[in-house]
């Protein structure tokens, strides 16, 4: 793994993600185009495309041999050990209804492992940066996942893929979690929930089959902030998975949260 490549990628990512984020901020409540993206209710605006273009052009200029996978543009370039994952506007549905909860997410993968994650929340000007082996930072200050004396008085984030919809197992597990914790959050902006967990603002995440360009930056954020990310079987989550079912939290809460998920799933079958 080339550390120089990662450090250069970090510098460029911070620059271009701020540029892309400012477009979203400037056009918030003032966008022109809104259209349906798929049969599951996802939408896209011209802002998604404008932000994406800024990021892709700068990646290609700096790293012409790297492959890119972006939310709207799809796969660009030949298969490579280095892969960029770009979500130019994570939370487009929020953006479209005037809810200021959205981010831009950039991830650099090396041999299917996330080595750099950069997430920018333009409405609050919060920049989250994580490099493998170097920790996670919010506006240049180190952040950490927090342990809570009583997890059931905590806030748990729920993330599910677009295709999950009203899958009975997902619905029952979601309801099971909802009534057992102080709050269960669904933000429609997954990267922000991962960053909130890394920052200690929420206490756990349960993810039900949600893989995409917005996943791996968040996973790295939490791992580098001292959190643990496991699958529903309790195995540490590494690499990439097309159908991930994940639990993320402080290591102190791993067994407890895994027990809740398993109990919820067993009742949902």
**Predicted confidence (pLDDT) per residue in 178-187, tens digit:** 999 999 999 9
**Nearest CA-CA partner of 69 in 114, 104, 106, 24:** 106
Residues 237 and 155 placed together within one structural domain of the fold: yes
Mean pLDDT along residues 117-136: 98
Residues 92 and 12 placed together within one structural domain of the fold: yes
Residues 110 and 171 placed together within one structural domain of the fold: no
Q: Give the pLDDT band of residue 269 (cuts 50, 70, 90).
A: very low
Residues 100 and 181 placed together within one structural domain of the fold: no
Total number of domains in the chain? 2
Residues 96 and 226 placed together within one structural domain of the fold: no
Last residue of a domain, one of 142, 174, 191: 142
Residues 7 and 127 placed together within one structural domain of the fold: yes
Burial string for 181-198 (b: 16+ CB within 10 Å, else e) reads beebeebbbbbbbbbbbb
Mean pLDDT along residues 76-91: 96
Per-residue model confidence as pLDDT tens digits over 158-178: 999 988 999 999 999 999 999
Residues 138 and 156 placed together within one structural domain of the fold: no
CATH number of the CATH domain containing 44: 3.30.540.10
Token couple for 38: 């798929």
Last residue of a domain, one of 94, 117, 142: 142
The pTM score is: 0.94
Last residue of a domain, one of 142, 173, 203: 142
Residues 89 and 172 placed together within one structural domain of the fold: no
Residues 162 and 238 placed together within one structural domain of the fold: yes
Q: Residue 46: what pLDDT?
A: 86
Q: Residue 71: what pLDDT?
A: 84
**Long-range contacts for 128-134 (Cβ within 8 Å, ≥24 apart)?**
128/195, 128/198, 128/199, 128/221, 129/10, 129/14, 130/198, 130/217, 130/220, 130/221, 130/224, 130/225, 131/6, 131/7, 131/10, 131/224, 132/6, 132/220, 132/224, 133/224, 134/224
> Of 38-42, 129-133, 214-218, which range is least confident?
38-42
Residues 186 and 250 placed together within one structural domain of the fold: yes
pLDDT higher than threshold 80 for residue 37: no
Residues 41 and 71 placed together within one structural domain of the fold: yes
CA-CA distance, 243 to 19, in Å (whole number)? 32
Per-residue model confidence as pLDDT tens digits over 3-28: 999 999 999 999 999 999 999 999 99
Containing structural domain, residue 47: 3-142
CATH number of the CATH domain containing 167: 3.40.190.80
Per-residue model confidence as pLDDT tens digits over 50-80: 999 999 999 999 999 999 999 888 999 999 9
Residues 93 and 182 placed together within one structural domain of the fold: no
């Amino acid at each position: 793994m080339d550390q120089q490549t990662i450090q250069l990628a970090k510098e460029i990512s911070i620059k271009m993600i701020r540029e892309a984020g400012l477009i979203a901020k400037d056009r918030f409540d003032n966008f022109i185009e809104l259209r349906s993206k798929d049969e599951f209710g996802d939408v896209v605006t011209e802002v998604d495309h404008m932000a994406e273009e800024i990021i892709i052009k700068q990646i290609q200029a700096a790293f012409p041999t790297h492959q890119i996978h972006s939310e709207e543009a799809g796969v660009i370039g030949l298969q490579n050990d280095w892969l960029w994952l770009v979500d130019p506007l994570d939370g487009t549905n929020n953006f479209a209804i005037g809810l200021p909860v959205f981010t831009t997410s950039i991830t650099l993968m090396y041999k299917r492992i996330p080595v750099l994650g950069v997430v920018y929340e333009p409405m609050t000007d919060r920049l989250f940066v994580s490099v493998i082996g170097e920790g996670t930072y919010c506006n240049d200050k180190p952040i950490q996942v927090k342990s809570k004396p009583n997890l059931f008085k905590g806030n748990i984030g729920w993330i599910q893929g677009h295709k999950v919809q009203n899958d009975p197992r997902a619905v029952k597990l979601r309801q099971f979690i909802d009534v057992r914790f102080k709050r269960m959050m669904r933000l429609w902006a997954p990267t922000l929930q991962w960053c909130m967990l890394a920052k200690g603002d929420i206490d756990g995440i349960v993810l039900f089959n949600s893989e995409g360009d917005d996943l791996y930056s968040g996973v790295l954020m939490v791992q580098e902030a001292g959190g643990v990310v496991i699958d529903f079987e309790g195995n540490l989550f590494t690499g990439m998975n097309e159908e991930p079912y994940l639990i993320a939290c402080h290591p102190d809460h791993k067994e407890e949260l895994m027990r809740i998920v398993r109990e919820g799933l067993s009742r949902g079958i």
